[in-house]
Amino acid sequence: MRRTKHTVYSVLFFLSSFIYFFFAYKGLKRQNINLDNYTVIKSTIVDKGVDYHYGSKGRKSLSFYIRLKGTNKNIGVYRMTKNYEDLLDKLTIGDTVTAYYRENSNESENINIDLVQVERNGQTVLDKKEYEKKESALIYIGLTAGFLTILLSYLYYKRKINSNQT
């Protein structure tokens, strides 16, 4: 029984550390974005606003969105601060913009919140640095949680060895 419990804990520690380090890796891959690797569309804004983004697993979050002429999907951005006044002021319906975004095949989402950068008249209105910064949170969370899991597994095994020796 003890051996089975020990094996289960070992597998759980390994899998959780792997998952956390995987999140860190995903965040790292999304740093220093090359806009050539993203979908780009130059079109006219036909709608804009702030609305709830309904994501996977029933999550909802207040997000800024734009809809471009010739598309049937809203693309937008989520900010933890929920402050979108700057985007609402800078972008108006009828503006011609160039938008860079990551395609999303999830049909249940009403807003694709992977809008990376928006340019109007050669000026950057929404900078890719904001997207990179948001994605960098995955790095910090993944590394911290991964190392904490390793530390906890070390302490667990150390206690286990000490209890077996007494």
Q: What is the pTM of this model?
A: 0.71
Cβ 147 vs Cβ 23: under 8 Å: no
Does residue 105 register a pLDDT over 90? no
pLDDT at 166: 59
Q: Residue 25 sits in which domain range?
A: 2-30+137-165
Residue 103 lies in a domain: yes
Ranking 11-25, 46-60, 70-84 by mean pLDDT, the lowest is 11-25
**Cα–Cα dist 78/25, whole Å:** 21
pLDDT digits (tens, 9 = 90+) for 22-70: 877 777 776 778 899 999 999 999 999 999 998 777 788 999 999 999 9
Residue 82 lies in a domain: yes
User: Number of folded domains in the chain?
Assistant: 2
Same-domain check for residues 24 and 105: no
Residue 163: other Cβ atoms inside 10 A: 8
Residue 95 DSSP class: -
Same-domain check for residues 43 and 73: yes
Does residue 107 register a pLDDT over 90? no
Residue 73 DSSP class: S
